Amino acid sequence: MRRKLAAGNWKMNGTSAALGELAALQEAHPDPAVDLLICPPATLLSAAVQEAHNGPLMIGGQDCHEKTDGAHTGDISAEMLRDVGARAVILGHSERRAGYHETSEDVRAKARTAHAAGLMTVICLGESLIQREATNTLDIIGAQLSLSVPDTSTGENLVVAYEPIWAIGSGQTPTPDQIGEVHDFMRTRLERRFGAGVGRSVRLLYGGSVKPENAAEIFAVSNVDGALVGGASLKAADFAPIIRALENA
C-alpha cells in the first residue's frame, strides 16, 4: 500500500510571518493519516524545520544543484538541504524548466545527487496546452519520465508529480479521465522499468489548481496518491481541507 502524500510548494512566497501557517496546519492535523510535506522558500527552511518539531510534517526544498559543492553562486546543494533538516526536494518544476532552461537530463542529475544525500525527490512532469491539443501528452510525459528519473530511484525516494503546465495557477484542471490516463500510463512505465515492486510503490501526485472544492474528485482517480499544491498550500485554511479530502479518499 502506498501512503498518500499531500505536498505544498510555496514557491517564492512567504517571509517569517508565514511560519504561523505551519503552526496552524499542524494544529489542524496533529496526527495526519497521510504524509505531509511543505516546501517553503530556502530562507525559511531552517525556521520551518524548527516549527515542525520533528513531527509528521516534513519540510523540503524547491530545487538543488546537481553538484555536491563548489563555485555555484546562489545555488543550494542537496547536502545543505539535508543539513538544515529538509527531507525532500522538488525537482524539475515547469517554472524551473521554463525559467532556467532545465532539461530532463539536468533534473536526472540533480535527482541522483539528492538521492545520494538521502532526500526524497518530487520530480515534476507535464505537458503544455499546445502539446495536449496536438494529442502528444503521453509521448511528452513518457520522454520526461524516462529522462528525468534516475536509476537511483526507489519506492521510498521517488515521488512523481504530474503537473500539466496549463493547469498550474490557472484555475483550469484536466478531467478525471485525463488525469487517470496519464497516471495509469506513468505507473505502467515505472513498473516496466523498475519492476513491479518498486514501480508499484512510487507515489504519483497530481498538481495544478488543486483546491478544497476539487480535491475529492481528483483523489478518487486511479493511481493518484496525493497532490502537489501551489497556491492553496499557502494558507492552512485552504490546505487543511485538501489534506482531509486525501485522508478520506
Binding-site ranges for ligand PEP (CB under 6 A): 9, 163, 168-169, 207-210, 228-232
In the complex, least distance from residue 232 CB atom to ligand PEP, rounded to whole angstroms: 6
Cβ–Cβ contacts within 10 Å for residue 96, how many? 18
CB of 227 to ligand PEP, least distance (A): 8
Nearer to ligand PEP by Cβ, of 174 and 230: the residue is 230
For the CB of residue 146, give the shortest distance to ligand PEP in the complex, in Å. Answer: 21
C-alpha 123/C-alpha 141 separation (Å) is 12
Closest CA to 89 of 113, 53, 55, 56: 113
Q: Is 34 left (phi over 0), alpha (psi -120 to 50) or beta?
A: beta
Write out the catalytic residue numbers. 93, 163
Least separation in angstroms between residue 173's CB and ligand PEP is 9
Q: Which residue is nearest to ligand PEP (CB)?
A: 230
Provide, rounded to whole angstroms, the least separation between the CB of residue 69 and ligand PEP: 28
- Contact between 16 and 43 under an 8 Å Cβ cutoff? The reply is no
Closer residue to ligand PEP in complex, CB, 85/212? 212
Closest by CA to 11, choosing from 34, 44, 41, 31, is 41
DSSP 2: P
Which CB, 32 or 226, lies closer to ligand PEP?
Answer: 226
Q: Rounded distance, CA 126 to CA 9, Å?
A: 16
Given the complex with ligand PEP, which of 44 and 228 has the nearer CB atom? 228
**CA 157 – CA 153 distance, rounded (Å):** 6
The answer to whether the CB of 90 falls within 8 A of the CB of 128 is no
Q: Is there a contact between 249 and 27 (Cβ–Cβ < 8 Å)?
A: no
Q: Enter the DSSP assignment of 181.
A: H
